[in-house]
Amino acid sequence: MAVRNKKKAQDTIWVSLDDIVIPQKTKASVERDITQLEKMRRDFESRKQMVPVVLRRRYDDLYTVEDGRHRVLAARLAGESHIEAIIH
């Protein structure tokens, strides 16, 4: 009998966008992809379900982005205050 690997669904929390740090160098490279950012901004504004971002807690209780830099920036552009995240 075949056994499937079952991944446990990870819990998500809502994190303030003010608590998420994106280094300026990384931010500049992501902002160059204006087409993708605009599409994601519209998705946030229309309340489309988005995949949670993956964050890592820093020593100063802020977070860095491991996956989802475009989503974080698009959420900021859309005027959101929080984003759904998985914390590693």
The CATH number given to whatever domain includes residue 47 is 3.90.1530.10
Compute the distance between CA of residue 33 and CA of residue 50 in angstroms, rounded to an integer: 18
CA gap 24, 2 in Å, rounded? 48
**Percent of the chain with pLDDT strictly greater than 70:** 90
> Does residue 7 belong to any structural domain of this protein?
no
Domain count, the chain: 1
5 in any annotated domain: no
* Poorest-pLDDT segment among 32-36, 58-62, 69-73: 32-36
**pTM of the predicted model as reported, rounded to 2 decimal places:** 0.84
Residue 2 lies in a domain: no
In-domain check, residue 55: yes
Q: Which domain holds residue 73?
A: 13-87
Domain assignment of residue 44, yes or no: yes
Query: Is residue 6 assigned to a domain?
Result: no
Decide if 4 is inside a domain.
Answer: no
Mean pLDDT of 15-27: 92
Is 51 a member of any domain?
yes
